[in-house]
Structure 1
Amino acid sequence: MTATTPTRPRALIVDDEAPARAELRYLLTELGQVQVVGEATNGEEALLLLGSLDYDLVLLDVRMPGGSGLEVAAALRTLPRRPQVIFTTAYPDHAVDAFDLAAADYLVKPFDADRLRRATARALAHLDAPETARPTAQHATAPVRGDRDVEPLARIPVPKDGRTVLVDGASIVYASAARGYSYLKLADERLLVSYSLNELERRLRGHFFRTHRSYLVNLDHVRELVPDFQGSLVVVMADRQRSRVEVSRRHARELRRRLGI
């Protein structure tokens, strides 16, 4: 009796550039984790294919004619069995939106076979998991003192060396504005991210406090409050450098209340 060969998960490649599709097909074929059974050149074609066949994995470019990859990923949420999504793009600035759509990974071109292998393995591992167990942009954490029903901290996607690192909101000591960008200060490093302090404030919400128009601090990492000579406050943070962050006068009272002082 002949043994039945297990069917590999089915993958769809969506990219408007033929060389990019060919390269991705080649890499996936070499890795052998999935079988590529479809290609689409734009969002409209992708949705037609996704409506006619159950795919397990979709590799999506972001910027395409006929509907962006983000729009395609949003539409997948209406399918009875939603495939896993890996974004493959030359643009790192859409990572936040991608992870908000529960993408399994976000690969910034050019990437190598090993990076693709790890992303694909992660996606397939979650393929049959319940929706509540699938990757999302948030995770639970303890609430800040003085606040009720504080929402979970987001994970912030940060492009780094051709890959996307997910930085836990809980590990961010503070963020500072930098001309339309922001710096995330961690315990022993500083990372530049491509979105504004206002965007970070919306994502991090109750766990963070805007001490100044240029600073957003993690209340769990505030070590000391020090009055300055002008009658305002400076907070000393619990990073390795014991960074000092300015607190504007109009925010000082609310900061004390949030810290239970």
Structure 2
Amino acid sequence: MRPRALIVDDEAPARAELRYLLEEVGGVQVVGEATNGEEALLLLRSLDYDLVLLDVRMPGGSGLDVARALRDLPRRPQVVFTTAYPDHAVDAFDLAAADYLVKPFDAERLRRALERALAHAEPASGEAPSAGSPGPWDDGPAHVPPSPADVEPLVRIPVTKDARTVLVDGAAIVYASAARGYSYLKLADERLLVTFSLNELERRLRGHFFRTHRSYLVNLDHVRELGPDFQGSLVLVMDDRQRSRVEVSRRHARELRRRLGL
């Protein structure tokens, strides 16, 4: 049975365009439309949906309000935000959104969003997840650190900020952390959301970057201190303004010490 989707948008042309793109991508059955947050919650509480394509700014409650309310449902559908406003992305991912699409987007971008969302969808009632299926925080198989021969110069990472694309120099990144297929870049005094997974950033940011944990990629140039946490594991204290603490997994600790010359 194809996954069931609900489209939520207060503008009829936007709903029609999204339905058209979903038909072009295929694999999803649109079984409902709502024009505001109140209608969306009514439909979501009356039928199990696998996926909600949700606008942000609507009458009757924002899309963010709808996403918050979904946490109380017995079976929470995956949420993909579809909006003309890029400035709510951080709030959306804090609410465990699967993706955040900024209009206009094409069928290929929508397809990637659906793949990401449905990979983490809860099985329908009575169905068991397939053996070995990834959990919502699975970051894929562990990557072997690149050898010195493979090291390439640092690149700049594009970041959407205030409706602009800003290029962040790799040397300015203190560390990166995983966020459901996306990542946060921690700079000296701010945190930015990027559309790259941590694995993708690891491939781009080589040189002095090191994967300390499945959820962290650290710029070794910004390590200020090393120390144990209360469980005896290794923790890095970074040189950003907040003196962030970054976890080091036991299987990466020895290689990290070698890289730092300890």
What RMSD over aligned residues (CA atoms) do the two structures have, in Å? 4.1
Contact 2:185/2:192 (<8 A) preserved: no
For 2:188, the aligned partner's letter is: A
Match of 2:41 among 40, 43, 47: 47
Distance of 1:103 and 1:31 partners within structure 2 = 20
Shift of 1:174: 2.8
Q: TM-score, normalised by structure 2?
A: 0.54
Unaligned regions of 5+ residues in structure 2, if any? 124-128, 139-157, 166-174, 179-183, 195-200, 206-215, 226-237, 245-262
Matches within 5 A, 1:1-261: 7-128=1-122, 133-135=135-137, 158-159=159-160, 168-169=176-177, 172=185, 174-176=187-189, 221-222=221-222
Runs of 4+ in 1 over 3 A off after TM superposition: 160-163, 169-173, 181-184, 186-189, 218-221
Shift of 1:113: 0.4
Cα 1:224–1:9 change in 2 (3 A) is closer
Contact 1:102/1:135 (<8 A) preserved: no
For 1:222, the aligned partner's letter is: H
Q: TM-score, normalised by structure 1?
A: 0.54
Higher-Rg member (1/2): 1
Shift of 1:29: 1.2
Contact 1:8/1:35 (<8 A) preserved: yes
- Deviation track 1:187-209 (CA, whole Å, cap 9, x = no partner) reads 999xxxxxxxxxxxxxxxxx9xx
Cα 1:127–1:223 change in 2 (3 A) is closer
Shift of 1:175: 3.2
Identity between Structure 1 and Structure 2 (%): 67
- Deviation track 1:109-130 (CA, whole Å, cap 9, x = no partner) reads 1111000001001111111278
Q: How many residues of Structure 1 are paired with residues of Structure 2 in the alignment?
A: 171
